[in-house]
């Protein structure tokens, strides 16, 4: 992809590394660390959304103002503090501004991207930045616009001179039926639970209904079988979200797993250059009201970061463990998070 990147004058540093462009306010050692992080993430490779997600995951919410954009096939943008990103393209104009750390994937091609700090000036038309770090308060990237799509062919008109062939379906000679669809993974397993006064199905360990919030302390805790509701969502490092209402097998090629082939689990494909993810890396299993993880003897292992824990846990291959809401799971160089409104401590 031929991209023209021009620095915007002003106080700060601008950097271009691979598919990443970024600007950061000058803050000494903190800015040096941020520039090194941008270069390291760009060197790891991956599509634009994955680059920005990894950058956001390692950047942290505090520090000097900065903004970044990934210009790959799946562009994405990020901003923190008093900085701005403006992206124009097929989806229209997208603008991000701090102070909170925010990032977003852009659907569709981009034509221009500007990352800037307050007080940045217009670019000098004679300047360009192929790679490296120079002083400046922003960057303007101009991407090639796609060629216009060819006009659709004119509608085909019927040829009145061609013979007409009619087909009559006689009783007992019906056309062959379509093949049966492949069955989907079951998402409503029956499990033991309790109903609140308003009829909402809940985990017996909950003291308050997770739907309406009513107290369940006065109810007789007699469990009954009922359809298990979704236990939360999986948030991937590329910004995508999956509903957690069935088992998943995570990996580069999860389709090779027998449970996926038999529709007992869904496939969650995580790939990318040098991702460190095995073909079958980890299984996410719903056990009653709990979410369990089992490392499938992956090459690089599975690491769980539990909320509030001082150190992460390395999973032992083949040993299922329960993970709480808010846990982050590292698989190679990629990660995902389990989130839920359910609180096992209530």
Q: Tens digit of pLDDT for each residue in 51-65?
A: 888 888 888 888 899
Query: Which of 258, 254, 262 shows the shortest CA–CA distance to 183?
Result: 262
Domain end (from 142, 172, 206): 142
Q: Mean pLDDT across the chain, nearest whole number?
A: 82
3-class state of residue 80 by DSSP = strand
Neighbours of 22 (CB within 10 A): 28
Indicate whether 275 and 296 sit together in one domain.
yes
Q: Does residue 243 surpass a pLDDT of 70?
A: yes
Residue 179 lies in a domain: no
Task: Kindly state the tokens that stand for 278.
Answer: 């095995």
Residue 182 lies in a domain: no
Q: Per-residue pLDDT averaged across 172-194, rounded?
A: 56
CB 302 within 8 A of CB 281: yes
Predicted confidence band of residue 260 (pLDDT cuts 50, 70, 90): very high
Residue 147 lies in a domain: no
Indicate whether 123 and 234 sit together in one domain.
no
**Of 29-38, 210-219, 232-241, 266-275, which range is least confident?**
210-219
Indicate whether 68 and 195 sit together in one domain.
no
Indicate whether 43 and 15 sit together in one domain.
yes
Residue 11 lies in a domain: yes
Q: Does residue 27 surpass a pLDDT of 70?
A: yes
Say if strands 266-269 and 248-251 run parallel, antiparallel, or are unpaired: parallel
pLDDT by residue (tens digit) across 211-236?
A: 777 887 756 567 888 888 888 899 99
Indicate whether 330 and 206 sit together in one domain.
no
Residue 163 lies in a domain: no
Domain end (from 89, 115, 142): 142
Task: Give the structural domain span for 244.
Answer: 230-339
Q: Does residue 177 surpass a pLDDT of 50?
A: no
Task: Kindly state the tokens that stand for 137.
Answer: 């308060």
Quote the pTM value: 0.46
Indicate whether 262 and 242 sit together in one domain.
yes
Indicate whether 261 and 194 sit together in one domain.
no
Residue with the bigger pLDDT between 91 and 233: it is 233
Predicted confidence band of residue 295 (pLDDT cuts 50, 70, 90): very high
**Of 24-28, 184-188, 190-194, 332-336, which range is least confident?**
184-188
Domain CATH code at residue 252: 2.60.200.20
Residue 166 lies in a domain: no
Query: Which of 269, 241, 242, 275 shows the shortest CA–CA distance to 254?
Result: 269
Predicted confidence band of residue 157 (pLDDT cuts 50, 70, 90): low
Indicate whether 326 and 196 sit together in one domain.
no
Predicted confidence band of residue 146 (pLDDT cuts 50, 70, 90): low
Q: Using a pLDDT cut of 70, give the percent of the chain over it.
A: 84
Indicate whether 25 and 78 sit together in one domain.
yes
Indicate whether 106 and 134 sit together in one domain.
yes
Domain end (from 226, 251, 285): 226
Report how many domains make up the chain. Answer: 3
């Amino acid at each position: 992809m031929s991209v023209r990147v021009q620095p915007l004058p002003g106080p700060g540093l601008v950097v271009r590394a691979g598919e990443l462009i970024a600007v950061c306010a000058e803050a000494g050692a903190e800015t040096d660390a941020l520039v090194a992080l941008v270069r390291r993430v760009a060197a790891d490779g991956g599509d634009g959304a994955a680059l920005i997600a990894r950058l956001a995951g390692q950047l942290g919410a505090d520090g000097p103002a900065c903004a970044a954009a990934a210009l790959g096939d799946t562009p994405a943008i990020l901003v923190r503090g008093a900085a701005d990103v403006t992206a124009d393209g097929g989806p229209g104009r997208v603008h991000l501004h701090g102070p909170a750390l925010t990032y977003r994937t852009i659907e569709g091609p981009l034509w221009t991207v500007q990352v800037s700090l307050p007080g940045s000036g217009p670019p000098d038309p004679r300047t360009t930045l192929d790679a490296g770090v120079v002083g400046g308060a922003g960057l303007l990237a101009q991407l090639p616009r796609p060629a216009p799509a060819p006009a659709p062919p004119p509608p085909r008109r019927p040829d009145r001179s061609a013979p007409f062939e009619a087909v009559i379906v006689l009783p007992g000679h019906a056309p062959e039926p379509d093949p049966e669809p492949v069955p989907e993974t079951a998402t409503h397993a029956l499990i033991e639970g309790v109903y609140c006064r308003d009829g909402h199905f809940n985990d017996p360990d909950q003291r308050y209904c997770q739907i309406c919030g009513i107290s369940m302390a006065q109810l007789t805790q007699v469990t009954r079988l009922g359809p298990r509701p979704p236990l939360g969502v999986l948030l991937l490092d590329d910004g995508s979200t999956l509903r957690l209402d069935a088992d998943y097998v995570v990996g580069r090629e999860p389709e090779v797993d027998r449970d996926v082939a038999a529709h007992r689990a869904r496939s969650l494909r995580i790939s990318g250059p040098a991702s460190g993810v095995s073909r079958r890396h980890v299984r996410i299993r719903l056990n009653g009201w709990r979410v369990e993880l089992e490392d499938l003897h992956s090459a690089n292992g599975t690491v769980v970061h539990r909320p509030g824990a001082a150190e992460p846990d390395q999973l032992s291959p083949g040993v299922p463990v329960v993970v709480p809401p808010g846990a982050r799971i590292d698989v190679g160089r990629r990660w995902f998070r389990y989130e839920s409104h359910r609180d096992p401590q209530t």
